[in-house]
């Protein structure tokens, strides 16, 4: 599995021979100005909720590549009707589907989900993905919540994407508790530094995790990591 960071909460993940893009918000993000969205290849676009900073580039990428949008019922219908995207796969919270790259479980998230035009965006979600190359959890925008314990109890999570920017989502302290809830030591931070409200002290965040025996990966935009680098990383104390 290869993981490329496109800024904010947007990642491109190669898994099972397919390319999955999560929460595409690239062209409006000045920190991601080096990335040309017209060159991004995708087979699937996974959208956690209807906020602009998670789906701004989804329609354009979907129309150019033919990628299938995977999201909740309300979001997939909005993209099918308003944007006439070529393919959608609607799901809803708690539902699971076996795709050609692996299995997707739509998890709950504690947040909100309205479209910029005021349309109802359903409930916010996260994704738990099981594949032959490992399992990961992408929480979407969320607060810390007890439901995360269920994932930790019943699923094996090799690594997880959690928001750490605070203000709109969990901050570092709650993300560390979330990592305990899901029983996962390898966390990739997201939803930080994009806007003034979510600027964090990256060094302090990494130290907080390593002091707790966990590794926090803060990827530079437009860089790539192998899932093996994450899974095999030794937690550096202090
Ligand atoms: Ni949001
Ligand atoms: Mn957001």
pLDDT digits (tens, 9 = 90+) for 95-105: 999 999 999 99
Q: Which CATH number is 155's domain given?
A: 3.60.15.10
Tell me, yes or no, whether 237 lies in a domain: no
Tell me, yes or no, whether 238 lies in a domain: no
**How many domains does one find in the chain?**
1
Compute the distance from residue 232 Cα to the ligand 1 centre, in Å: 31
Tell me, yes or no, whether 168 lies in a domain: yes
pLDDT digits (tens, 9 = 90+) for 8-62: 999 999 999 999 999 999 999 999 999 999 999 999 999 999 999 999 999 999 9
Structural domain range at position 221: 2-231
What is the DSSP secondary-structure string of 71-129? EEHHHHHHHHHHS--SEEEEE-TT-EEE-SS-EEEEEE-SS--B-TTS-B--S-EEEEE
Non-local CB neighbours of 8 within 8 Å, separated by 6+ positions:
23, 25, 29, 31, 32, 53, 190, 191, 194
**Beta-carbon count within 10 A of 213 CB:** 10
Tell me, yes or no, whether 52 lies in a domain: yes
Quickly state the pLDDT bin for 238 (edges 50, 70, 90).
low
Tell me, yes or no, whether 236 lies in a domain: no
Tell me, yes or no, whether 31 lies in a domain: yes
Tell me, yes or no, whether 34 lies in a domain: yes
Compute the distance from residue 236 Cα to the ligand 1 centre, in Å: 31
Compute the distance from residue 132 Cα to the ligand 1 centre, in Å: 30
In DSSP terms, 96 is beta-bridged to: 105
pLDDT digits (tens, 9 = 90+) for 191-226: 999 999 999 999 999 999 999 999 999 999 999 999
């Amino acid at each position: 599995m290869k993981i490329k960071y496109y800024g904010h909460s947007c990642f491109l993940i190669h898994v099972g021979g397919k390319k999955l893009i999560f929460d595409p918000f690239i062209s409006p993000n000045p920190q991601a100005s080096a990335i040309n969205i017209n060159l991004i290849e995708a087979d699937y676009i996974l959208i956690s909720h209807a906020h602009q900073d998670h789906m701004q580039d989804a329609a354009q990428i979907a129309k150019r590549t033919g990628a299938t949008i995977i999201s909740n019922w309300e979001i997939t219908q909005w993209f099918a009707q308003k944007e006439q995207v070529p393919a959608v796969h609607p799901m809803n919270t708690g539902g699971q589907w076996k795709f050609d790259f692996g299995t997707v479980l739509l998890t709950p998230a504690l947040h909100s989900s309205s479209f910029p035009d005021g349309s109802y965006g359903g409930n916010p979600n996260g994704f738990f993905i099981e594949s032959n190359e490992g399992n990961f959890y992408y929480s979407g925008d969320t607060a810390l919540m007890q439901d995360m314990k269920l994932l930790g109890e019943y699923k094996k999570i090799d690594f997880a994407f959690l928001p750490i920017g605070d203000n709109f989502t969990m901050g570092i302290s709650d993300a560390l508790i979330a990592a305990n809830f899901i029983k996962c030591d390898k966390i990739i931070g997201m939803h930080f530094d994009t806007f003034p409200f979510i600027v964090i002290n990256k060094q302090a965040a990494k130290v907080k995790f390593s002091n707790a025996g966990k590794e926090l990966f803060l990827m530079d935009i437009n860089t790539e990591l192998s899932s093996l680098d994450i899974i095999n990383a030794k937690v550096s104390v202090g």
